[in-house]
Structure 1
């Protein structure tokens, strides 16, 4: 039984009531806090919750659900509500003949890559070149203080031998300047043939001051159907920088301690790119009066029409892949006043036509009854929201730790562990497994943060592992 099904079972809902679980979840403000108290109130309380406020949608090549954490909200003030949008690419689509690919590798050749690190990176890139089909397209950018388009976009079969020789001849020198190289990589895809799946793979072992520009490049390219993934090599790159680029580019982020693991990352990127069936997925939701967007996780969110609408960019999906977006909303409704949230989701099938599906309207109603509000909670949506809020906080904790503020990092982790433990305690082992696993990961990270200095090898590795895991959880369950 899935955790979603388990949370909706009547027996479990009444078990939750008996357990009277209380979570002071950061960001999970689901009842009004006392005046001046910025900490949120309980997400899971003692009332038996039986609400379900969800709608399914489907179209050619994809399907999904849209759900709200509440059917009713407490009137007389502002209450936080969560919306969960899940889009899944049909697994059966994998049986179709895959579209040809257009891939760009953007590789760091700065001085810090000297020696075995660069040699491993070159071997990994060469293996990817050999694995491409002849009709796939490849471009290659190498960068240090400056950047060079080593290979303009061309069919792999035509340039493979020559490009392998040039990659093998690469040498390390200079500093690290990521943004211009990333922009050059994206520009190389301008000549990609119609119907091709396009992806940029950025690899770096260093850091620079161009994060905002790199995020902008990745975000803009994602809006044009280009996925950007990033890989941090070693212990001296900025995981916040590289992770943010991957999030903006709707791609993957990973950390490897040495370049020997780069080959596995590139192979994963090749598999996902080859299996991509959905591109340019986006949703537009209409937010009624009294409901506003606070923040979104799992997609870029752009307010429209003065905040009355929000556009969500989800990116590309491979067959069987799932994208999850958690929206934190603030609702202020009078008693018995009802408001409907509705919208539309769009995507393009690789090698096919554009598709769209309506998102049926879901209603929130104001109520003076705290019991009615409790009974109308959807605990499945709240469980997913709690997991995402904890991941956001864990990324914040890792950043605080890297900045040397170990005390703040520990407080943030303690807060997440308390919430996850309380939620997992009310579930049988099978249903509690995802939250329990997250809790165990946080305990291990906390132990690592306590036992190692942030500047040490162990400390750097611990922070990067934490960010890698939790960035993944922001957009995929």
Structure 2
């Protein structure tokens, strides 16, 4: 198989940064991309340019080291990896096999259910003849309209079914999920390459499988059957951690709406992602060489076996961007020597090429005994990304404190974030973190104004959504 190698010279002689890029092979393997930072004593590299950009499949991979120069001996650094779904200008969207699962328990009565029905009717109007849709609604029991092609006659039938939804009973999420899965499975194998379930709820499970782990297992099984699960929480009474977990284990998206009037927008956005899907079964893994150990993967569930760390990613739509930030403990050797920091692999099913792809790269730094070298050549963007991920940890802690009535403690975590972004501004400039600092100030105001239980719950959920985005879950958080 042909191999394309791109050698990018940034300076002559010893002053160079090399990128060796390989194209994926037809068998799903690829030659590695090697990123080598500029040796000691050479001109300063362009810090605003990504250290490694790879990807000949439907995903582009951009990797950065916060510290291209590391001190001799032990230290820590942050690796940031951006995954971007390929845009396909002018391409016809793919048919979708969709199921909408709507909570119609007693707590949904009135305005919320009215808005949910309106959103579902709007979703029906966006479908084409080649799409399929099943509509499921649940309280204590479950009722459903079987998966049907979205022809004009069937769209009218779907609209009539939606009009007949009424509020009743408890919240049997597991039964709603199971029926949604069954309806989707009945229509799999046709022209639709994407099978997606959208769950909407305003409350916590009260019937059926009601424990968190049991419900997560239900979603895991749905995902294992080839179906993506997205979840939308409405109001302030639902369990946001559980709904977030549904989206994570289901490789879909999570959204929080305090006002049900915006449901149509989220339904439409999830349909758009489903119909422009470019990659699924996406996994990012880090291979840690001798001298490197894992500190933490910020904001994602990671699994480590030996020297390999694996992170499951959502399915990707065209243009979708997700970021992973990892803290690593590294050991620099003799001054001037290249130090391998981590090997990266992104494996996925390329829906555009209908094959498996593996994208490989290596991140390396240069050891130095000059402290100023470490500071002056710090990557500006990677530093900001790391600050955002660290601020997200504080946001989560602030939300947990707020949920137990500890407003002062929650505000202390937000003050810590202001310090984080002030430090990042010293590296990247004030403009790079101006929006982040404004968002922290806004969160402080929201917490200060949260004087009743409802506003406190809303502040908690809003903070957790912001934390997800700051961790890097930008495309999979609505």
TM-score of the superposition, structure 2-length normalised?
A: 0.79
Q: How does 1:314-393 map to 2 (within 5 A)?
A: 314-332=313-331, 335=334, 338-350=339-351, 352-364=353-365, 369-393=370-394
Query: What's the CA shift for 1:365?
Result: 5.4
Structure 1 residue matching 2:264: 3-state secondary structure: helix
**1:109 pairs with 69, 83, 104, which one?**
104
Structure having the larger proportion of residues in helix: 1
C-alpha distance in 1 between matches for 2:249 and 2:410: 25
Q: 1:118 to 1:440 in 2, by over 3 A?
A: same
Matched, 1:196 2:193: yes
The answer to whether the 8 A contact 1:344-1:356 is kept is no
Partner of 2:83: 87
The answer to whether the 8 A contact 1:397-1:409 is kept is yes
The answer to whether the 8 A contact 1:401-1:454 is kept is no
Q: 1:217 to 1:375 in 2, by over 3 A?
A: farther
1:343-393 residue CA offsets vs partner (Å, 9 max, x unmatched): 332333335322525332222455555444435532321211111221232
Matched, 1:309 2:308: yes
The answer to whether the 8 A contact 1:206-1:238 is kept is yes
TM-score of the superposition, structure 1-length normalised?
A: 0.79
C-alpha distance in 1 between matches for 2:100 and 2:467: 25
- The total of aligned residue pairs comes to 421
Gaps of 5+ in 2: 1-42
The answer to whether the 8 A contact 2:346-2:358 is kept is yes
1:427-461 residue CA offsets vs partner (Å, 9 max, x unmatched): 566x42xx221221221221221222351x33332
Matched, 1:464 2:461: yes
Q: How does 1:5-404 map to 2 (within 5 A)?
A: 54-77=51-74, 79-91=75-87, 93-146=88-141, 148=142, 150-157=144-151, 159-191=154-186, 192-193=188-189, 195-208=192-205, 210-218=211-219, 221-222=222-223, 226-297=227-298, 299-304=300-305, 306=306, 308-332=307-331, 335=334, 338-350=339-351, 352-364=353-365, 369-404=370-405
Structure 2 residue matching 1:443: 3-state secondary structure: helix
Partner of 1:443: 441
Q: Structure 1 runs of 4+ off > 6 angstroms?
A: none
C-alpha distance in 1 between matches for 2:170 and 2:247: 22
1:152-208 residue CA offsets vs partner (Å, 9 max, x unmatched): 333222743333323222222222232443344345433422552222211111123
Structure 2 residue matching 1:331: 3-state secondary structure: strand
Structure 1 residue matching 2:457: 3-state secondary structure: helix
Q: 1:159 to 1:388 in 2, by over 3 A?
A: same
Which stretch shifts more, 58-67 or 152-161? 152-161
Query: What's the CA shift for 1:81?
Result: 2.0
Partner of 2:30: none
Which stretch shifts more, 179-188 or 414-423? 179-188
